[in-house]
Structure 1
Amino acid sequence: MPSPARLPARRQRRFALFAQLVAVVLAVGAAVTVIAEGPGGRPGAERLAADEISTVPPLVAAPLPPSVSPSPSATVPSSPPPVLRLPGAVPSAGTGAFGYDARSGPVLGRAGELRRFRVAVESGSNEDAEEFASAVHTALAGPGSWVDSGRLRLQQVPGGAPRDFTVYLATARTAGRMCADGGVDIRVGGRPYTSCRAPGKVIINLDRWRLSVPHFVAAKVPLSVYRTYVVNHEVGHQLGHRHERCPGAGRPAPVMMQQTLFWNGCRVNPWPYLEGRRYSGPAL
């Protein structure tokens, strides 16, 4: 074989490239042999020393690409929307007779005159007296209720016990009759619409209790807020408070404002006390 020096220049370049290729193949083969055998020529994968293991970062799951949604089980469920009104037909008339919650409640308020009340639900209204009493308790317990004055205490008593007033839940027809007997006309458009207070009687209209009113529903005010408002409003009448007006656009509505009919620029408010102080508006 002729020496490289005697080959033509073109063949010399080909010879050099061939020699480099052979060298690379031999190097790769040696590396593969070392990796397959491990250190010392022993078969098996290379093992890390004990002090090296702690330096290896843990495996982290790769984030999902933007186009891939996580599985349903990984998502956080959202809160259900508030109940604005109850579904189903509302009885327009009941039997005219009432059943009473037989429980005694705790004394609400820290000081002042104690006034006792009982809770009644009309038969045929498809409502439960204990559930109604619980909602009344929530409204009158506060914080924010009438007992926050520090001069009044309230307590629910059983149906046959001595009391100062009764909170009734009545169908529209019965509520209209009871309110009219007490000198209050609750009709709107010729039909019993609002609730009322007659002497010794706080009368809550079943239509309003289940359906709220259109402007509350349109503003997505929860039914529970309307219920708290209507109880505090009518109990406020029983305690001697009269209707009030909106004190200014954008301000909370006084609880003694007729929020069942309008807001007049005010914001919904179910409480007579805000931040521990009596909140009121101009007399109507």
Structure 2
Amino acid sequence: MELLALVLAVGAAVAVVVDLGGADVGAEVFSGGAPASVPVLAPVATATAASPPVTATTPPPPVLRLPGPVPSAGTGIFGYDDRVGPVLGGVGVLRRYRVAVESGAGEDAGEFASAVEEALAGPGSWVDSGRLRLRQVPGGAPHDFTVYLATAGTAGRMCAAGGVDIRVGGRPYTSCRAPGRVIINLDRWRLSVPHFVRAGVPLSVYRTYVVNHEVGHQLGNRHERCPGAGRPAPVMMQQTLFLDGCVANPWPYRDGRRYAGPPL
């Protein structure tokens, strides 16, 4: 009888161990992402969870213009981005430029400088000619020209002083180039233009265009016309005012070649 009792006691202990092996071992559930790997004593077949379904994500729509009011006037005082930029382009004459933003414009000089650099670096920018290199320098350094971001009121005065009238309907509207000055109108920098917005052209494309257009004037290029309906607009076309059947294009070089239209 004592032997029988001992056998029954051992069997009960084994039964307890088996029961614990089949219990939940505290697996942690993570929201968003695959479940974490945890030790499981139960058979693999009973512990495998179904993979989460793969769902396609829709990319956000492009930014066509920035919301909120745009300052129409600033202090007329400019702050410079004082970084030294990389040399853009491999060979050719080196031209140095500064970048400045008007106080009161509500824009960061460093962010504006980065956007200018991206436009001038390409691929597709003026440095693709193989005859030109560009480099940003600090505000106090020797330079060939300065790229300004100015409120509409200040841009109008600066452009007029350089002999350029940028008014449309009596209000300073476009950007311009005056000798040694590339002047970008804050209204256009934040709002683009209606025909770009209607066509769904991203604000980043307009910004690249306006920088390359006005810097193109600084480099000696004149206005051009649309070469044909449905074709890319030359960067020296006045895309801020019209497209004339062309498609918006921010680059002076396409496929490594200068892309131009008939002279205006």
- Name the TM tier (shorter chain): 0.7 to 0.9
Distance 1:229 1:202 in 2: 13
**Counterpart code for 2:212:** N
Which of residues 159, 162, 165 is equivalent to 2:142? 162
Which of residues 32, 55, 78 is equivalent to 2:58? 78
| CA RMSD after TM alignment | 1.4
Q: Which runs of 5+ in 2 are unaligned?
A: 1-47
Distance 1:74 1:201 in 2: 52
Which of residues 87, 106, 116 is equivalent to 2:96? 116
Q: Percent identity?
A: 82
Greater radius of gyration (CA):
1
Which of residues 196, 203, 213 is equivalent to 1:223? 203
Distance 2:261 2:49 in 1: 61
Q: Which runs of 5+ in 1 are unaligned?
A: 1-58, 62-70
Question: 1:160-202 deviations in whole A, cap 9, x for unaligned?
Answer: 0000000000000000000000000000000000000000000
- Corresponding residue number in structure 2 for 1:275: 255
**Counterpart code for 2:159:** C
Q: After superposition, where does 1:135-146 map in structure 2 within 5 Å?
A: 135-146=115-126
Distance 1:82 1:60 in 2: 38
Q: After superposition, where does 1:22-41 map in structure 2 within 5 Å?
A: none
Q: Does residue 148 in structure 1 map to residue 125 in structure 2? A: no
Distance 1:74 1:228 in 2: 36
Q: After superposition, where does 1:30-69 map in structure 2 within 5 Å?
A: none
Distance 2:174 2:69 in 1: 18
Distance 2:96 2:55 in 1: 49
Runs of at least 4 residues off by over 3 Å: none
Which of residues 57, 77, 81 is equivalent to 1:101? 81
- Corresponding residue number in structure 2 for 1:88: 68
Distance 1:76 1:102 in 2: 43
| TM-score when normalising by structure 1 | 0.74
Q: After superposition, where does 1:106-255 map in structure 2 within 5 Å?
A: 106-255=86-235
Q: Which has the higher helix share?
A: 1
Distance 1:60 1:275 in 2: 51
Distance 2:194 2:100 in 1: 26
- Corresponding residue number in structure 1 for 2:17: none
Cα deviation for residue 151 of structure 1 reads 0.2
Aligned pairs, how many? 216
Q: Secondary structure at the match of 1:234?
A: helix
